[in-house]
Amino acid sequence: MTQESTFEIFLTAAPGLEQALLAEAKELGFAAPKAVPGGVTVQGGWPEVWRANLSVRGAARVLARIGEFRAFHLAQLDKRARKFPWGDVLRPDVPVKVEVATNKKSKIYHAGAAAQRVEKAISETLGTPVAKDAEVTVKLRIEDNLCVFSVDTSGEGLHKRGHKSAVGKAPMRENLAAMFLRECGYTGDEPVVDPMCGSGTFVIEAAEIAKGLMPGRSRSFAFEKLATFDVGAWSALKQQGEASETDLFFHGSDRNEGAVEMAAANAGRASVADCTRFLQAAVSDLQRPDGPPGLVIVNPPYGARIGNKKLLFALYGALGQVLKERFSGWRVGIVTSETGLAKATNLPFLPFGAPVAHGGLKIRLFKTDPLP
């Protein structure tokens, strides 16, 4: 495997968001994008791996497929792993760990033993140390006795954009927020309001999209520790990002003063303080901002996550009433795990899509056309 090699790149997504991620991959010009369970595959070389980590908002991780072979028992796995060209991708001075991501329809049934055999093969043939807290992770998928190896090129999950030090009690992950914005038809050319903004995720993501800021611009990645990394090419790629100015404003409010302060600080670190506004306010005090209509998107509490579900019906009802009275012409997106709570808003929701796995719950986006 060389710098010029082309291979499969897997962009992982929360189940239920594969089609939204596919649309983003197509928009960004990745080759041969295809939705598969749990994400999207594209074709490319190492520069495309770097670009995916830097520019794809909806992915949770970027995995590079680095090779495969068949093995019907542990001894065969061990033998073939020792002949595998690990040095093409891994460095002898950077610790590694091996995780078995999938193991089904396989005669090698002990995932832990399989991972240990591969780790030992890497350490004894390449000299690479093995460590539980290693920055580089090789993922092994065994299916029908085919062992497929990938390297996690992201490191920390891609929802960690690198400029948010503070999060609220029940945060919406940035990659999920980006996909829900996309599902609502948001493209960066309209204002966005979040009346329960927490740490500001929806507002900050919307502002970054409007300004053309790359989601991965402020952080480091595991691929920087691989033998395939080219620091010069990576620096050039990062400089290609075309940031622009926007005359739109993105508004967040929350009844919690600490959340508002946290959101404003996060927006500052994300370089969007100039186009974001955060204020302390209850839902009942929510006012339509001056200017053109846009999108109201909100991730309210939903019982299983915070508080008592029975007390939430009144909150959702009040939210719906305020939006109907004050936000004519605006579209609405509400993310919740409870259809009953969404219906308590009495908003005219469109047919809703697939549930999305998030933090052990199944959440769903309920969205409307422009309100009458």
**Distance separating alpha carbons of residues 11 and 237, to the nearest angstrom:** 19
Nearest residue to 24 via CA among 183, 218, 254, 259: 183
The band of 26, judged by pLDDT with boundaries at 50, 70 and 90, is very high
pLDDT the model gives residue 241 = 73
In the chain, CATH 3.30.2130.30 covers: 7-152
Q: Spell 272-298 as b/e; 16+ CB within 10 A means b.
A: bbebbebeeeebeebebbeeebbbbbb
pLDDT the model gives residue 68 = 97
pLDDT the model gives residue 252 = 98
What is the percentage of the chain residues whose pLDDT exceeds 90? 86
> Each residue of 32-72: pLDDT tens digit?
999 999 999 999 999 999 999 999 999 999 999 999 999 99
Reported in sequence order, the residue ranges of the chain that DSSP labels E, i.e. its strands, are: 7-12, 31-36, 39-44, 61-70, 96-104, 136-143, 146-152, 192-194, 250-254, 276-280, 295-298, 331-336, 356-358, 361-367
Q: Taking the model in full, what pTM does it have?
A: 0.94
pLDDT the model gives residue 76 = 96
* 174-213+244-367 CATH, one of 3.40.50.1370, 3.50.30.30, 3.40.50.150, 3.40.50.10800: 3.40.50.150
User: Does residue 109 register a pLDDT over 80?
Assistant: no
More confident of the two residues 90 and 105: 90
> Each residue of 283-341: pLDDT tens digit?
999 999 999 999 999 999 886 545 567 789 999 999 999 999 999 999 999 999 999 99
CATH topology of domain 7-152: VC0802-like (3.30.2130)
> Each residue of 152-211: pLDDT tens digit?
999 999 999 988 776 666 678 999 999 999 999 999 999 999 999 999 999 999 999 999
The band of 1, judged by pLDDT with boundaries at 50, 70 and 90, is low
In the chain, CATH 3.40.50.150 covers: 174-213+244-367
**Distance separating alpha carbons of residues 316 and 303, to the nearest angstrom:** 12
> Each residue of 126-152: pLDDT tens digit?
999 999 999 999 999 999 999 999 999
User: Does residue 74 register a pLDDT over 90?
Assistant: yes
